[in-house]
A and B are shown apart, each in its own frame.
Chain A
């Protein structure tokens, strides 16, 4: 099989992993000849699905002994199989990198033989890139649950980011669709990575020159929409992952029709709007001081698909408003629909020097249509009349929906609401 065919199969097999981030590593590795990481990730291209192409995202092999139903690479699927040699991956990465197509490599793999064997193969690629090729670009490795501590330790030394996929939001979902994957094993793998990161940070704070361990932290992904688990449970899982495992990112991947799909999963278009709402809610949890239960407003414990979750919360809590942008605290400002965290910081700075007027907010690119009913500015007093309108939510829905297509992927990246 030639390299084109292998690349076609093993890129196709890797695309259901949503992460393509190449950010978070602030300093280029010592002695690197080709490649750098300077904190900010770069998207070198975009595919027509609106997703960024930052890393060469491939599987080492799509042979897999597991039978996870949502996955195109499960043992029971008829998908064509291929396997790269580690040298092939190294060459592809270097040649693509030298032409400035990519920021680095995101390497994952189907499980072949045993978790240790698979992990060893992944580590070998990263080690060759770092040591033989003096590669200083970004490397994201998948951690295989069940792989030994030593291998994870090695992986962390060569990689910028490690990730273990939680796969599905609840233990029951996992039992239903991926009975061979064990939640405790996944958690243990995360814990291992987290412990090492914490140790390394503590050492360097004490002034020891400890070798860097996964400087860009760890992330995970879960598939949504493959089972009927409600958003509330999904967000609770994410919330726990952020607080217990200090994850940098939780990615939500709408269950998408896949080639060779399992007949027991419904063929459907991916629930993209729901995925988008989950990303918005995720941001509200992390940067806006919201709690899961505040955000889930429908009787089915799901996010409202027609409204962004912050607006949905505001409409359900109108007694909070209007908020005076010239007086309110940071926490209150963060709750105003249409005003993002960055703009809250700007408002706090500007108002030290002058009172903000509505035009100022528009200049800050606040989503004025959404915001106006909820704020008081130096020249704008909406009073309660606007807020009390029964039809306020219908009025506001028209706006956000237009915005939708445009800022969907955007908000997955920036989280600005």
Chain B
């Protein structure tokens, strides 16, 4: 029996080459790992294998790279196993590596896989901590790999963190990169590594918030992030807390939805009743799809003839509209009437309505101050407008103000930039938007008010021109 102690892969390669050339069969060889204490004295007298040129042999490239990986494994029997496979490959089983269900090949493959996985986990789980040393920034990590893979993985970290000074400590071996070369030194206990880094709090904040409490899969987590690595992963400290709190958070999500479970369409006239603007307006009186009905005096539905060719839509009724039950009758309505007359449009021939049919306000003393309806209220109310539009046969849709324009044209519609231009909306090929008359009334100086009024007037003229088919071209 020949015994040899093997230190690393190149060592094995040399010894194996000599043994194989001398045609020593695996049954007569015992290769010992240097980490392993020998129970009996080495057979130094055993025959000295002389490299022989007559017994030259070749192995597949695949075997060499496989052997190199297996060499990183901690299993003390790996050197013998490698020699046995080498022997078989070079005697009469050249294709042996393709038969991965062969016991020897299978064992090699399993070892190779374990090394690959361990290296992958090292790339994943090393956690650097920043340290200021002599005015320089240094990043230091302590990691416990399963196998002796520091030399295998270090070049990866050198490529990745080329522009950083870093050190990775492990119990058996450590490595340092100084932005130009790698140097290896002895292993270190964990206590030698820095114990914290300020940034870890921020990292835990991220970890806690990217976690979805509605999908708990602890087993899957532990399969991929084995508990034995948790000690060096700062985020694992909060896993227990996250899990404990998860059921409560899910319950809260399910039991406290937002918005309204109904929309206006839940209050439409019943299917057997004839659907007209009048029956629609009547049905709207009962609408409680959102909460605005609670404080408003009444519903303010659209007004105008069913044969109207122009439809004007505002945001919501104001204080006086709410009391009168009719749209655009307050100061803003009067301003609109003036503009319409100047543009040669007859108010009586136009259908006038709002995207939200109830007045939303804030009380200040005795005054009721307009408050913009939010997206939920607009969404709940919109089916009323959809139904009004269906029953009309209009050719031009004019939106007044941002609320009407963003909900009827597009959410990124800008009145400031896009008013007065024809656009195609989901309702109408000839849609345009302009200032809401109330916004003109709120301007601080008469000059500004006049300028904006002129713009509104201009846009109304554009709207009127839309009734002539030659203008936008059908």
Contacts and interface: CB of A to CB of B under 8 A. Distances in A.
Interface of A: 3-4, 7-9, 11-12, 14-16, 28, 32-36, 38, 40, 42-53, 56-57, 65-67, 74-78, 92, 95-96, 98-101, 111, 113-115, 134, 180, 254, 256-265, 267-270, 272, 346, 349-350, 352-354, 356, 359-360, 363-364, 405-406, 408-410
A46 B128 contact: no
The interface centre, meaning the residue of B100, B161, B203 with most chain A CB atoms within 10 A of its CB, is: B203
A346 to B, nearest CB: 6
Nearest to A405: B219
A96 B249 CA distance: 28
B221 A47 contact: yes
B205 A46 contact: no
B164 A98 contact: yes
B125 interface: yes
B99 A350 contact: yes
A72 B246 CA distance: 18
A50 B214 CA distance: 11
Contact of B211 (A47, A114, A263, A268): A47
Contact of B210 (A53, A263, A270): A53
Interface in B211-251: 211-221, 223-225, 233, 235, 239, 242-243, 246, 249-250
B217 A405 contact: yes
B221 to A, nearest CB: 4
Nearest to A65: B411
A113 B414 CA distance: 9
B259 A262 contact: yes
Q: How large is the interface on B (under 10, 10 to 19, 20 to 34, 35 or more residues)?
A: 35 or more
Contacts of B252: 259
A15 B375 contact: no
Contacts of A262: 257-259
Contacts of B129: 99
A65 B376 CA distance: 13
A264 B124 contact: no
A45 B212 contact: no
B50 interface: no
Interface stretch (B194-202, B296-304, B452-460): B194-202
Contact of A99 (B199, B257, B263, B374): B199
B162 A47 contact: no
Nearest to B211: A47
A11 B207 CA distance: 9
B120 A261 contact: no
B128 A99 contact: yes
Residue with the highest number of chain A CB atoms closer than 10 Å, among B220, B221, B250, B255: B220
Given A40-B120, A42-B124, A48-B217, 4 more contacts: A12-B210, A96-B203, A98-B161, A100-B141
B130 interface: yes
B181 interface: no
A271 to B, nearest CB: 11
Nearest to B236: A45
Given A7-B202, A49-B216, A405-B219, A98 B209 contact: no
Top 4 A-B pairs, shortest CB-CB distance: A50-B217, A50-B220, A33-B163, A76-B375
A16 B215 CA distance: 11
Given A7-B206, A101-B127, A350 B235 contact: no
B210 A11 contact: yes
Given A76-B379, A78-B258, A406 B220 contact: yes
A256 B260 contact: no
Interface of B: 95, 98-101, 106, 120, 123-130, 139, 141, 156, 159-164, 197, 199, 201-203, 205-221, 223-225, 233, 235, 239, 242-243, 246, 249-250, 252-255, 257-261, 263, 374-376, 379, 406, 410-412
A111 B413 CA distance: 13
A96 B263 CA distance: 46
A220 B243 CA distance: 30
B375 A352 contact: no
A233 to B, nearest CB: 23
B255 to A, nearest CB: 7
Given A34-B161, A52-B224, A67 B411 contact: yes
A379 to B, nearest CB: 13
A7 B106 contact: no
Contact of A35 (B160, B246, B253): B160
A36 B202 contact: no
B260 A14 contact: no
Contacts of A354: 99
Given A34-B163, A363-B106, A98 B124 contact: no
B382 to A, nearest CB: 10
Contacts of A352: 95, 98
Given A48-B211, A51-B212, A114 B412 contact: yes
A75 B375 contact: yes
B369 to A, nearest CB: 22
A85 B130 CA distance: 24
A110 to B, nearest CB: 11
Contact of B139 (A38, A99, A256): A99
Contact of A350 (B98, B163, B216): B98
B95 A353 contact: yes
A34 B163 CA distance: 6
Contacts of B124: 42-45
B203 A101 contact: yes
A43 B214 contact: no
Contacts of B221: 46-50
A50 B250 CA distance: 17
B272 to A, nearest CB: 26
B203 A99 contact: yes
Nearest to B143: A100
8 contacts: A7-B205, A12-B210, A34-B163, A47-B212, A51-B212, A65-B406, A77-B259, A261-B254
A139 to B, nearest CB: 15
A269 to B, nearest CB: 7
A171 to B, nearest CB: 14
Nearest to B106: A363
B207 A256 contact: no
B218 A48 contact: yes
A254 B216 CA distance: 13
Contacts of B246: 48
A36 B163 CA distance: 12
A57 B159 contact: no
B253 A4 contact: no
Nearest to A413: B224
A78 B159 CA distance: 45
Nearest to A272: B215
A333 to B, nearest CB: 16
B211 A49 contact: yes
Nearest to B235: A45
Nearest to A103: B124
A36 B98 contact: no
Contacts of A66: 411
Given A42-B120, A48-B211, A264 B139 contact: no
Contacts of B260: 263-264
Contact of A113 (B127, B218, B220, B412): B412
B286 to A, nearest CB: 20
